[in-house]
Amino acid sequence: MAKHILIFGPPGAGKGTFSSQILKVFPEINHISTGDIFRENLKNQTPLGLKAKDYMDKGELVPDSLTNELVKDKLETNVGKLWLLDGYPRNLKQAGFLDEITNIDLFLLLEVSRDIITKRILGRYSCKSCGAIYNKYTLPPKKEGICDNCGAEIKFEQRSDDNEETLKNRLDAYEKNAKPIIKYYKKKKLLKKVNAENTLELTGDQIKSILEI
């Protein structure tokens, strides 16, 4: 079983949804999402959040100097534990840095076309009470207006970077950097592809077989 997992794919590929499915099957895995950490810092107006804000608003990558330190700190607090790193590395320098500080067992690539991504991202929202993710086109709550996860009346919250212009920049940034990263992990024989064209709803057995290495 993979102990240190990277989850990779364009914005809107379903990394968050897929990660939460993995965590349901393996609750002992720690989910570390650099995007979530930055958003949390931004919400709390920490020095890190304030430094990252402009980059995030434009859909650009936050400088490696900030991001690498954040990841290093997180991994240091998770030594000896199972983890799933989501949103990192985003370029080859970050991949090299990661190799200096830890070892990776599995690189999961979620594959999905640009058309589908656009629909997913522009329709994406979350429940303000518990953070459960929905989509007005592809993943509405079972009962309109009520959160499947916490049962609260949904107060919609949309990520501030889920808008058309920022999305274009985020997709361009992804496409520019993705190929060399995928090649890097393929060469290390860590690459496993997951078809993410449809909303990912995998069974426990399917997830187990993906994480078996």
Hunting for tokens 């989850």 — which residue is that? 7
- Separation of alpha carbons 175 and 178, rounded Å: 5
Q: How far is CA 45 from the centre of its chain?
A: 22
Q: Map residues 10-49 to x or -, x wherever contact with ligand AMP holds by CB under 6 A.
A: -x----------------------xx--x-----------
Residue 26 and residue 124 in contact, taking contact as beta carbons nearer than 8 Å: no
Of the listed 90, 120, 179, 193, which one is catalytic?
90
Residue from 88, 97, 107, 134 binding ligand AMP (CB under 6 A): 88
Taking the complex as a whole, how short is the minimal distance between the CB of residue 67 and ligand AMP, in angstroms? 4
- Alpha carbon distance 167, 105 (integer Å): 30
Is residue 4 part of the contact set for ligand AMP (CB under 6 A)? no
Chain mean position to CA 28: 18
Please report how close the Cβ of residue 70 comes to ligand AMP at its closest, in angstroms.
9
Give the sheet arrangement for strand 124-127, strand by strand: 133-135, 124-127, 156-157
Q: Is 9 in the site for ligand AMP (CB under 6 A)?
A: no
Residue whose beta carbon is closest to ligand AMP? 35
Which residues, numbered 158-197, are part of the site for ligand AMP (CB under 6 A)? 161, 170
The interface region with ligand AMP, picked from 85-93, 104-112, 125-133, 148-156 by CB under 6 A, is 85-93
User: Can you give 175-187 as a three-state secondary structure string?
Assistant: HHHHHHHHHHHHH
- Residue 98 as a binder of ligand AMP (CB under 6 A): the answer is no
